[in-house]
Structures are given as structure tokens and as C-alpha cells.
Chains A and B, each alone.
Chain A
Amino acid sequence: MPPRAARVVVCLALAIAAPSEARAALGGDAASIAVDSATLGGTRAILGATGWEVHALRLPSGTLVHEYLRGGKVFAVAWGGPALPDLRLLLGVYFEPYVQSPQSRGTGHHHMRLVATPEWVVQSAGHHESFVGRAWLPKQLPAGFDLDTVRAW
């Protein structure tokens, strides 16, 4: 069985075994994105890259999600499309700190939010039916990784 097929089988098995276990995508392991896939209901493709992997997920809303993995751990995510993805699933343990953060870049500014800490960064922007965003863990980026490649738009 080729590696990719094996991975799909493993992921499906995990998804079936733990369908309600919404483990973190960002900072989580490969199994967590399988849960994402099952929960978010999208179709997935795995794109090869040197030193890391990019998993692309097309959600039913049409929104594209990219998850960036190294050594089985998700170190970055990105999204783009007509609706926001469920950031609670994508950001995992970083979702609540993001939502609670006072760094909202000014009251009344509904079309952009930037929150940066030494441990994690979330950037979300967009307007009516057109959203983009990304998040990453600065201390877990692979050497030589270009942040400009964290995008799904």
C-alpha cells in the first residue's frame, strides 16, 4: 500500500474512532486534522513540500483551508473563501486566547483582526463573503520556512 493511501486509511480510522474529539489543528498532530476533515466535512488533498507537508481542505462553503505539518505536528494554518471556517477547530487550544485577546486593532474595525504573541499569531481579514486568514506558531516554524507561503487564497 503506498504511503499516502495508508495515511488516508489511518486518518479515516481515527476519524471514525473519535468523531467528536475536536483536538487542536494548530499545535496538534496529524490525527487532529483528520478529525477536522470529518467534522468540517471537506475534501482533502496532501501536497508535497520539502521539509513539511501541506494539507488542503475544501469545505462545503467553498472556503479553502491549508494546514502545514512537520513531523506530524501542525505549525501553521491558512484559510480563504466566502465563509470563515470554524476557527475553534482550526486554532484548537489557541482559539480561546485569540477570542479573549484585547488586541482587536480598534473598536468598530470588523474587517481585520491581528493578534500576535511570542507563542502564536492569528491574522484574519476580509469583508462581506470574502475572507482570508492565517495562524502560526513562530517557535515551531521549520528552518528556512517562508511565512509568505502560509496562504489559502
Chain B
Amino acid sequence: MASKAAARGLRPRHGARMVSRRGWGPGLLALAFACSSSPSQSGGGVDAAAGETAAGASEDAGTINVAPLVVDPGPPGVQAVNVAYTTVTLCRPGTTVCQTIDHVEVDTGSVGLRIISSVLDASLMLPQETAANGSPLIECYQYADGYNWGPVVTADVHMGGELAAALPLQIAGGAASTPVPSGCSGAGTEEDTVSDLGGNGIVGLGYESTDCGSSCASTTSPKLGSYYACAGSTCTASGVPLAGQVQNPIALFTRDNNGVAVELPSIDSAGAATVTGSLIFGIGTAPNNGLGAAQVITIDTNTGSFTTVFGGQVLAASFIDSGSLSYSFPDSTLAPCTGNQTGFYCPTSTVGLMATNEGFNRVNIPTSFSVANATTLYASGDAAFDDLAITAFAPGYFDWGLPFFYGRTVFTAISAAMTPAGPGPYFAY
């Protein structure tokens, strides 16, 4: 509850400026690049005039599907390590009343857009979704370390030059007067402030198109701990049709809607203060998003997992996830860190390692990676590391976190979406 009080006390102080827009062509792209080219400006406000263009401006098919990525310390007070952020623009559906928000975490390990309520300008007045019984629809979204609790609203969401019209999204912390049901709060820590979440929001661009799916659509026994119909302070679990659930914005784009490529440059093994890259929407839908030499590994449609073979271990629940700040895998030979980095690996010198990722399609990709001393890396004060690794306490998985993405283009294809390499879900790199 303490964090809720903090959320109420916060005023919009970063990543938040209202802009009124008439057109969404290259102008938005210019706006996006303006953010991208000045990543040290965590305030992120963009002059409305800079983003204005005449309505009906023609789209540039080569770059309209690109949104900026930056790895930096994040909003003031966050001090993030290995978090990739992008910029999104939210508009009240069907209007030009909009707000551009920077430092939204890019997470291929979750699904759906969530914005911290204290960042959102209340005058946007995004329409609240209602449950089947007419009460406001409030969602609990769970992570391994906690949860977001807040109402489901709709907005026209722009990423790069793409538009997801009337996208259902969550306003995290936007239901502070409604007590969090125990089936939600039992997940761990409430992450409804900028500092608790580590960003002004998070956008899940994982392999699914909705954030819960059929188990939340059931009207008779909806999945617990997800969607609630809340009348006053009384909330009851509520089934929500797929179209009303918080959506992967990519799935609602009118084009380039079958997946995404995350593209980050190689960095020095000692770390980097800031890294800029690109989110490229679509797979094989435009000149800039072909698979090229990338190999496809298909994944379990229920869990998103594939198999990593590493050091003689067969890790069948492995996954690729831009939202994890480090590699995570079991290795009894690497020296463990002590002190503040307990849990991470701390070899005396950087170690080069090799693993093989195997998809359900039996495609094998030998993959090299390196592990450096985490205590040394953290002491550098940098924000980006391609060799940060932590132990995996549960045998059976290898988490290919953000370090894996540097120097690669990593594709995530959405379930059942057709691509030149066949339908998703899959990863490719």
C-alpha cells in the first residue's frame, strides 16, 4: 500500500507532454528520432511543432515501421541496467488529444502496454473499459517479481509510424482507491510507480497477441488473478473476451503486424553508458525487416519455450527475453559473486561460452556468449552490458536476456501470424 500512496503523490515530471496532432506520417517518425537522438534527455518532452505535419502526408514505406530503442539509466531515480526503452504516443481514441511518453520498457517476455498512472496526463481522459456486468474493468498483471494493478482503458497508440487504434492497455496504479484483491497482491511487490517498475511504462511485445487469452475469456470460470469487475471497492474475477483484453500493440497494427525485430549494436565488453537501436515492426513485410540469414527456431505455443543445450545440460524451458537484464543459466563452474551482486556470476576474467538453441522445428543454432565479472560491471556505472549473467536457481531453463540482443537482430513472431518463414510463434536470429 505504501507504493500506492507514493503513486498518488507523484506528479507527471518526465516523459509527459501533451501534444495535439493532426497527422501521423513522417512527422511522428521525426518525433521518434528526435527522442532517439537525444537519449540523455530523460525528460523526453517533444515540442509539438516538431512533430506536426500536414494531414495525409505520404508514408515512407522503408522506415514507417521503425521505433527508437535506447538503453540508458532510465527516468530520473531509476538507475536501470540493461533495460531497453522506446517511446509511445497515446491519443484519446479518434481525437488529436495525445501524449508522448518516453522510457517505456520493451519486454519481449510479456504482452501488452502498461503506463504508470502518475506519468499520464489526466486530461487525456482515456475511456475506461467495462466488464460484462457494467462495472469498471481492472486488471492484475503478474510478473515473476510482482504485479501491476490498474484499469483497462483504450487509446490510439502510435509506435514509430504505426498505429494501433483503440488499443486496450493498462494504467498501472490507476485504481489506487480500489483495494488490490489478495489473488493479485499475492504475486509479490506492487510495481505501479516509475521507480518500482523501472520506467514510465512497459510494452510487452511477446509472441502472443493478447495478455491472457482464452483462459481469461471464460465467463464461467475465468482465470484467477487477472481481470476483475470492480464495483466500488468490491472486485470479482471477470471473464473478458479476447478483443477486450490488453493487447500486443503490434497485433493491432494495420500492417507490419506479424512480429517484431529488436536491433541493438555491438558494444564494448566493459559496458556502454548509452546504446541506441531500433524496434522494427513486421517480419518480411517491408524492405527493412526481412529475415535474411536469420535462422528460425519455433517455440512451445503455450510457454514460449525452446531447448538450450549448454555444458551437457538440456534446458527445455529456455526463452529469449529483452525484459531480462542478464543472461540466466545454471553453471556450477563459474565463480559466484558476493555482496550486492550475490546471485550473479563473477569470473576473474571474461569467459567465452557456447550453447546450442534448438527449436521445436529441430533447427539448431550454435550461439556464443560471454560472461564478465558482474561486480566489476556494476562498479563501472554503465547502463549496458553484453556479458552480465546470473544463476538460474531452477534447473531447466536458460534465459537469453538483453545481453543476448547486442550485436544481433532478434525476431519474435506472433502466434498464428503468417510470415515468410511460416506462422508464429518463433524466435529468429
Which chain A residues have a beta carbon within 8 Å of chain B's beta carbons? Answer: 60-61, 80, 82-89, 95, 98-99, 104-114, 116, 123-134, 148, 151, 153
Contact across chains for A111 and B399 when beta carbons are under 8 A apart: yes
Distance, CA A151 to CA B206, complexed state (A): 26
* B339–chain A nearest beta-carbon distance, Å: 12
Closest approach, in angstroms, between the C-beta of A25 and any C-beta of chain B? 12
Distance in Å: Cβ of B383 to nearest Cβ of chain A: 11
Q: Is the CB of A88 within 8 A of B182?
A: yes
A82 to B225, alpha carbons, bound, how many Å? 11
Q: Given A111-B324, A125-B392, A128-B204, do A87 and B303 touch, yes or no (CB 8 Å)?
A: no
Complex alpha-carbon distance, A127 and B305, angstroms: 10
List 24 A-B pairs, Cβ < 8 Å. A61-B223, A86-B182, A86-B225, A87-B187, A89-B186, A106-B325, A107-B81, A108-B74, A108-B80, A108-B325, A109-B198, A110-B202, A110-B323, A111-B109, A111-B145, A111-B321, A111-B324, A114-B343, A124-B188, A125-B399, A129-B304, A130-B303, A132-B396, A153-B396
Determine the distance from Cα of A88 to Cα of B180 in the docked complex, in whole angstroms.
Answer: 13
- The chain B residue sitting closest to A113, CB to CB, is B145
Taking the complex as formed, is B96 at the interface, i.e. its CB lies under 8 A from any CB of chain A? Answer: no
Binary flags per residue of B371-398, CB closer than 8 Å to A gives 1, else 0: 0000000000000000000101111110
* Closest partner residue, chain B, to A122 (CB atom): B188
- Docked complex Cα distance between A95 and B215 (Å): 27
Known contacts A107-B198, A127-B109; A113/B144 CB under 8 A:
yes
Say yes or no: A99-B144 contact (C-beta < 8 A), given A105-B390, A125-B328, A128-B206.
no
Bound Cα distance A127, B105 (Å): 15
Q: For B399, what are the chain A residues with a Cβ–Cβ distance below 8 Å?
A: 111-112, 125, 127
Asked whether any CB of chain A lies closer than 8 Å to the CB of B183, the reply is yes
Query: Is residue B107 contacting chain A, with contact meaning CB distance below 8 A?
Result: yes
Q: Report the separation of the CA atoms of residues A99 and B221 in the bound assembly, to the nearest whole angstrom.
A: 29
CB distance from B124 to the nearest CB of A (A): 25
Q: Which residue of B lies closest to A80 (CB)?
A: B394
Q: How far is the CB of A6 from chain B (nearest CB, A)?
A: 31
Please pick, from B195, B206, B223, B319, the residue contacting A83 in the complex, using a CB distance under 8 A.
B223
Pair B81/A106 contact, Cβ less than 8 Å: yes
Q: A128-B204, A128-B208, A134-B393 are in contact. Are A111 and B143 (CB under 8 A)?
A: yes
Contact with A along B195-209 (1 / 0, CB 8 A): 101110010101010
Interface SS of B by simple majority: loop
Residue among A61, A85, A109, A125 with the highest chain B CB neighbour number at 10 A: A109
CA distance A85 to B223 in the complex (A): 12
Cβ of A153 and Cβ of B304 under 8 Å apart? no
Cβ-closest chain A residue relative to B393: A123
CA distance A112 to B328 in the complex (A): 9
Which residues of A have CB within 8 Å of B80?
Answer: 106-108
Instruction: Give Cα A16–Cα B195 distance, bound, in whole angstroms.
Output: 43
Within 8 Å by CB of B390, from A110, A112, A126, A127, lies A112
**A129 CA to B216 CA, complexed, in Å:** 12
Cα separation A61 to B213 with both chains bound (whole Å): 13
CB pair A108–B317 under 8 Å, yes or no, is no
B342 at the A/B interface (Cβ < 8 Å)?
yes
Query: In the assembled complex, how far is the CB of residue B396 from the closest CB belonging to chain A, in whole angstroms?
Result: 7
CA A116 to CA B396, docked complex, whole Å: 21
Partner of B143, one of A89, A98, A110, A132: A110
Q: Is the CB of A127 within 8 A of B225?
A: no
Q: How far is the CB of B147 from chain A (nearest CB, A)?
A: 8
Taking a contact as CB atoms under 8 Å apart, the answer to whether A110 and B191 are in contact is yes
Contact B144 A112 (CB under 8 A): yes
Contacts of B182 in A (CB 8 A): 86, 88
Q: State whether B393 touches A110 (Cβ < 8 A).
A: no
Q: Which residue of B lies closest to A108 (CB)?
A: B198
Kindly provide the distance from the CB of B235 to the nearest chain A CB, expressed in whole angstroms: 15
Contact A84 B208 (CB under 8 A): no
A88's partner among B145, B186, B324, B395 (CB-CB below 8 A) is B186
Question: Are A125 and B144 interface neighbours, CB within 8 A?
Answer: yes
Q: Determine how close the nearest CB of chain A comes to the CB of B109; give it in whole angstroms.
A: 4
CA distance A109 to B199 in the complex (A): 11
